[in-house]
Amino acid sequence: MREYKTQMEAAKRGIITPEMKTVAEKECMEPEKLLELVAKGQVAIPANVNHTSLSAEGIGSGLKTKINVNLGISGDCKNYDVEMQKVNMAVKFGAEAIMDLSNYGKTNTFRRALIKTCPAMIGTVPMYDAIGYLEKDLLEITAKDFLRVVRAHAEEGVDFMTIHAGINRRCVEAFRREGRKMNIVSRGGSLLFAWMEMTGNENPFFEYYDEVLEILREFDVTVSLGDALRPGCIDDATDAGQIAELIELGNLTKRAWDKDVQVMVEGPGHMAMDEIAANMKLQKRLCHGAPFYVLGPLVTDIAPGYDHITSAIGGAIAAASGADFLCYVTPAEHLRLPDLADVKEGIIASKIAAHAADIAKKIPHARDLDKEMAKARHEVDWDKMFDLAIDGEKAREYFESTPPADRHTCSMCGKMCAVRTTNMILEGKKVEFCSEK
């Protein structure tokens, strides 16, 4: 039995855990430096003691930007085999985290299989699962019932949980007073708001937050403080409700750290580009440097079917400005449960955003693959380019769909390829087109 309960407790006591060693190696960072960041709460290593298949990852200051893939069944789409295919795809393309957002029936069979085999961090939103798990209507669920679901997920091996503890009565008052175009778009936030309004009670996750933390500490689960009042359209961004909740999340962050529970803070969903950087700085200030996890942000509201692009634009800006963890968005966002093709598009778009941000943040070795790609392009080495590409299969498929007569070019430029022309001149060769056979 280990001598510490959580990664944060170990770090505060100067103990370098096996998970810290794994993360330090992945990040090319000295374990002692990583330990300091974990002790301060600036880095989280979500690692439930019961998730034995986990390959630990760090999220936070000075580390590579990580991405999360949402999946799970709904009442209209109940095929767990397809969801497991999405899991395998996410792992193949390097997603560091998977959130099971299943909201239909008994979801723990799938979740247990996921935790047993998946090396990625696993996250859940217990609020989503409460109705199916408890088999009760929302109005019949008690505060203690919600805590039962949190414990069940923790016992199963979930590494991080979204807990919407910040939407208390003070935040609801700010939300009601100001008004919004889209009101509440967080599924968990809307359910809690409805429960609070129907029962007249305080948010149970806020009222019993210390008990939630005790459960999370027991299994070393990282709390991901959910943004129930995140903006659902760009006109609602940075309003009183969002900021009021963010202030509450800052206080909840410190309370979690006091109990050695690791924290991530969740951030806005829709936001104009010129507001993103300021929001990242505000979150870091109000939440004391805790890792920031953002959904997007989506920088425009008029691109259904292409929201993986609107999200990648916002995600790149957010991560370059301080966000640490990007939740992917697929082309199916706002339209349907994503299929396998949608999931792939969402993962690739998010990976591009994260990598671009890491270059801007000067994360160690972030440019290494880009330098290798430049060398391969200079040498017109197509096989090497495909090996280096985020999605080499697609790159090869595109190239070979219209094969060039000369493999040292592509079908767009042919022998007028700028790289070929310059290489030939620098090698002392003559460039001719009409006389070449």
Give tens-digit pLDDT for 304-341: 999 999 999 999 999 999 999 999 999 999 999 899 99
Burial class of residue 45 (count of CB atoms within 10 Å of its CB; 0-12, 13-18, 19+): buried
Query: Residues 307-317, buried b or exposed e (16+ Cβ, 10 A)?
Result: bbbbbbbbbbb
Give residue 125's Cα distance to chain centre: 14
> Does 228 show up as a binding residue in the annotation?
yes
pLDDT tens digits, one per residue of 149-173: 999 999 999 999 999 999 999 999 9
Residue 68 phi, psi dihedral angles, 5° rounding: -120, 145
> Does 413 show up as a binding residue in the annotation?
yes
> Does 266 show up as a binding residue in the annotation?
yes
Res 396 pLDDT > 70? yes
> Does 282 show up as a binding residue in the annotation?
no
Looking at every residue in the chain, the average pLDDT score rounds to 94
In order, the DSSP letters of 16-31 are --HHHHHHHHHHT--H
Rounded Cα gap, residues 74 and 63, in angstroms: 34
> Does 417 show up as a binding residue in the annotation?
yes
> Does 230 show up as a binding residue in the annotation?
yes
Enumerate domains of the chain plus CATH numbers. Answer: 7-360 (3.20.20.540), 367-401 (no CATH), 405-437 (no CATH)
Res 217 pLDDT > 70? yes
pLDDT given at position 134: 80
**Which pair of tokens denotes residue 114?**
């996921």
Rounded Cα gap, residues 147 and 151, in angstroms: 6
> Does 186 show up as a binding residue in the annotation?
yes
Rounded Cα gap, residues 158 and 53, in angstroms: 12
> Does 130 show up as a binding residue in the annotation?
no
- Picking from 125, 115, 126, the residue whose alpha carbon sits closest to that of residue 157 is 115
Q: What pairs with residue 412 in β-bridges? A: none
Degrees (nearest 5) of the Cα angle 29, 213, 270? 70
pLDDT tens digits, one per residue of 340-359: 999 999 999 999 999 999 99
Question: How would you write 176-192 as a 3-class SS string?
Answer: HHHCCCCCCCCHHHHHH
pLDDT given at position 204: 97
Q: Tokens 């006091």 label which residue?
A: 258
> Does 357 show up as a binding residue in the annotation?
no
117 near 177, Cβ under 8 Å?
Answer: no
Please give the sequence-ordered ranges of beta strands (E in DSSP) within 5-149, or none if there are none. Answer: 43-44, 59-60, 66-71, 97-100, 121-124
Terminal alpha carbon distance of the chain: 74
- Picking from 400, 435, 399, the residue whose alpha carbon sits closest to that of residue 415 is 435
> Residue 166 is which amino acid?
G
pLDDT tens digits, one per residue of 252-310: 999 999 999 999 999 999 999 999 999 999 999 999 999 999 999 999 999 999 999 99
Res 410 pLDDT > 90? no
> Does 74 show up as a binding residue in the annotation?
no
pLDDT tens digits, one per residue of 372-393: 999 999 999 999 999 999 999 9
> Does 255 show up as a binding residue in the annotation?
no
pLDDT given at position 104: 67
Residue 18 phi, psi dihedral angles, 5° rounding: -55, -35
| C-alpha distance from residue 223 to each of 68, 253, 263, 363 (Å) | 15, 9, 5, 25
> Does 187 show up as a binding residue in the annotation?
yes
DSSP conformation class of 431: P
pLDDT tens digits, one per residue of 412-422: 888 889 998 99
pLDDT given at position 409: 83
pLDDT tens digits, one per residue of 62-94: 999 999 999 987 666 668 889 899 999 999 999
> Does 407 show up as a binding residue in the annotation?
no
> Does 293 show up as a binding residue in the annotation?
yes
Instruction: Tell me the mean pLDDT in the region 229-247.
Output: 97
> Does 164 show up as a binding residue in the annotation?
yes
DSSP conformation class of 334: T
237 near 293, Cβ under 8 Å?
Answer: no
Burial class of residue 155 (count of CB atoms within 10 Å of its CB; 0-12, 13-18, 19+): middle
> Does 153 show up as a binding residue in the annotation?
no
Instruction: Tell me the mean pLDDT in the region 205-232.
Output: 98
Length reported for the chain: 437
Instruction: Tell me the mean pLDDT in the region 199-211.
Output: 98
Number of neighbouring beta carbons within 10 Å of residue 256: 26
pLDDT tens digits, one per residue of 85-135: 999 999 999 999 999 988 666 678 888 889 999 999 999 999 988 877 788
Residue 58 phi, psi dihedral angles, 5° rounding: -105, 145
Q: What percent of the chain has pLDDT over 70?
A: 97
Name residues whose C-beta falls within 8 Å of residue 70's C-beta, 6 or more positions apart in sequence. 98, 99, 101, 327, 328
Pairing of strands 43-44, 59-60: antiparallel
pLDDT tens digits, one per residue of 40-69: 999 999 999 999 999 999 999 999 999 999
Give yes or no for a cis peptide into 297 (omega within 30° of 0): yes
Rounded Cα gap, residues 35 and 322, in angstroms: 20
Instruction: Tell me the mean pLDDT in the region 362-370.
Output: 97
Res 437 pLDDT > 60? no
> Does 239 show up as a binding residue in the annotation?
no
Degrees (nearest 5) of the Cα angle 150, 151, 152? 95
Three-state SS at 258: helix
> Residue 350 is which amino acid?
S
